[in-house]
Amino acid sequence: MSALTIVFVGPLYAGSTTRQRMLALQTMGHAVVPVDIVPGGLAAKRLTFGWRVKRRLLGDRDESRTNERLLALPESPAPDLVWIEKGLTIEPATLRALRGRWPHTTFVSFSPDDMFNPRNQSRQWIGGIGLYDLHVTTKTFNVSELRSAGARDVFYFDKGYSPQVHRPHPVTPELRERLGGDVGFVGWPEGARERSMRFLARHGVPVRVWGPWPRWKGTRNLIVEGRPLWDAEYAQALSAFRINLGFLRRVNRDRHTTRSIEIPACGGFLLAERTEEHLALFREGVEAEFFASDDELLEKTKWYLAHEEERARIAAAGLARCIDGGYDNESRLTSVLQYALAAHGASAAA
């Protein structure tokens, strides 16, 4: 594929998977024009309770003047592609103006989230569904939902990992003590996953949790660190846990998550909820392990903590599957770019 000029719009704060995809496009040789939806301290502000309440009351607001900055981009030369990640604040009028300015440019909307969870939608995004040439989703069930909502075309691909970030780290005693342990989870709080981890804790299994959880949720055998991990620290923690728990978010109807790929990519042992998508990504008992109940989770956790060689063998096989299976961001993005340009590029429109 020849090098493209891509206007890349999304939250580009350090540690975001959006930033990792943008860097992957640059690594692939494309000329990327970044437009950050959450510049400066806005990313930290979005984590606050007050900001979330205001969003619930007022909806998504363009606090970073993204629409204004997009309309200020030069008319010439036209980009080959405009890639917008979860463009909740991008006004339909902005999309119409840009399409009129760049009639041969392909417009792509991408989201790693369930866009038919009302919490992930906005007035602006709903109004712009039919203005994109292509919607890209990592949710199988969103494909038909997007088409029914007026999407011109939809492309599905699995989540990926960044080889520059998600890689195995040497596990020293110091690293295991600082970030890891026997059993760990890195992610957002949600009721079902919390109940499962408390179940493990009540049965004598120590669980360490990283993420924006209140520290007061910690109990005996449930160690809540109270802060998220990003980039190198995140990858180090996944390497440093003997068992990494792979919980799904019910509110997003998850069948696999970014953690599902990132944990094995960091050489970590993945013990995740059993779904068809997980089973398609990794062979059970060979490249990862899965569970369907708290009892099965407890049984497998105790067994693999006691069988280090089996655990190490499965972790190594999971890493190999990520590499050999082309689960990296560059491979994932190559497939969608090839499709987008073949179906919707200037040559296809000619």
Weakest-pLDDT range from 165-169, 190-194, 265-269: 190-194
Q: Are residues 14 and 154 in the same domain?
A: yes
pLDDT of 154 higher than 50: yes
Question: Which comes out higher in pLDDT, residue 129 or 2?
Answer: 129
For range 203-207, the mean pLDDT: 97
Q: Report the pLDDT value the prediction gives residue 124, as an integer from 0 to 100.
A: 95
d(CA 1, CA 331): 12
Q: Are residues 127 and 196 in the same domain?
A: no
pLDDT of 53 higher than 60: no
pLDDT band (50, 70, 90) for residue 42: low
Residue 256: give its domain's CATH number: 3.40.50.2000
Q: Are residues 138 and 260 in the same domain?
A: no
For range 151-160, the mean pLDDT: 96
Q: Are residues 242 and 341 in the same domain?
A: no
Write out pLDDT tens, residues 174-183. 999 999 999 9
Q: Are residues 98 and 120 in the same domain?
A: yes
Q: Are residues 180 and 309 in the same domain?
A: yes
Q: Report the pLDDT value the prediction gives residue 268, as an integer from 0 to 100.
A: 98
Judge whether 136 lies within some domain.
Answer: yes
pLDDT of 205 higher than 80: yes
Judge whether 62 lies within some domain.
Answer: yes
Write out pLDDT tens, residues 277-304. 999 999 999 999 999 999 999 999 999 9
d(CA 269, CA 288): 7
Tell me the pTM.
Answer: 0.92
pLDDT of 5 higher than 50: yes
Q: Are residues 56 and 151 in the same domain?
A: yes
% of the chain surpassing 90 pLDDT: 87
pLDDT of 153 higher than 70: yes
Q: What is the DSSP string of 203-257?
A: TT--EEEESS--GGG-BTTEEE--S---HHHHHHHHHHEEEEEE---GGGT-SS-
Q: Are residues 128 and 186 in the same domain?
A: no
Write out pLDDT tens, residues 308-347. 999 999 999 999 999 999 999 999 999 999 999 999 985 4
Q: Are residues 287 and 273 in the same domain?
A: yes
Domain count, the chain: 2
Range of the domain at 196: 173-324
207: left (phi over 0), alpha (psi -120 to 50) or beta: beta
95-103: long-range contacts at Cβ-Cβ below 8 A with a sequence spacing of 24 or more?
95/128, 95/131, 95/132, 96/131, 97/71, 98/70, 98/71, 99/131, 101/75, 102/75, 102/78
Average pLDDT over all residues of the chain: 93
Judge whether 11 lies within some domain.
Answer: yes
